[in-house]
Amino acid sequence: MAKRKLKVSEPIVPVIVEDTSGKREVVLGLDISTSTVGICVLDYKTGDLVLLTHKRLDKFEDEYEKGDNFINDWVDPTWVVKRVYIEEAAKKFSFGLSSAGTIMTLGRFNGIISYMVYKWWGIKPTMVSVRSARSRLGIKIDYKDKTASTKDKVGLIVRTMHPEFPWVTKLAKAGKFKGQTVLEKFNEDMVDAWVIGAAGRIMFP
């Protein structure tokens, strides 16, 4: 099925669906960063997975170009988007992981993507706390255990819950895992997008 592509110079026109017969009602879960956005599309009524993917944005010059190219090549025109859930931007420092500049940049880009969503579908996104989302889905993390990162722990739990999801692997060409099949880094973004979308659908129907 052909998907609509949006050029940088093309104005954003909201998708307005009047006749919903034959359409599929969905919700979106988004995990936003300036390099990669995790994207999860779920059936609005059943919660079944419709699409789990990611959007690479690191090749674009700045957040404005990234925003222009975010809604591009993954949107299905047969969807009727009912809700959009976005991971709430960080509000505090995480030792070794964030700085004031990083938090400000992510907050600004979160706002840009939120506005793009509003302009495209006419929906004001709902911000979802990732900790509340994990708790709502029964994902329990031992934060005292430092043998693995929180993202690694959440990823393992979600992949165990849903091994049928389209997780992306590659053959490592260097490092300690050379010659072994490993997960692509962007699976983390896809995991978080699913957590936000699945929990958001339950918490904010």
DSSP state of 130: H
Mean pLDDT of 15-39: 82
* Sign, Cα dihedral of 32, 187, 160, 165: positive
Least confident among 22-26, 56-60, 98-102, 134-138: 98-102
Read off the DSSP letter of residue 107: H
Q: Indicate the domain borders of the chain.
A: 24-203
What mean pLDDT comes out for the span 120-142?
95
Tell whether the model's pLDDT for residue 185 goes beyond 80.
yes
Compute, in degrees rounded to 10, the torsion defined by CA atoms 111, 97, 85, 130.
-140
Domain 24-203 annotated CATH 3.30.70.240: no
C-beta separation of 88 from 128 below 8 A = yes
At 71-115, the pLDDT tens digits run: 888 999 999 999 999 998 765 444 444 567 777 888 899 999 999
Average of per-residue pLDDT across 14-22: 53
Measured from the Cβ of residue 130, the count of other Cβ atoms closer than 10 Å reads 18
pLDDT of residue 76: 95
Residues 19-44 have a mean pLDDT of 90
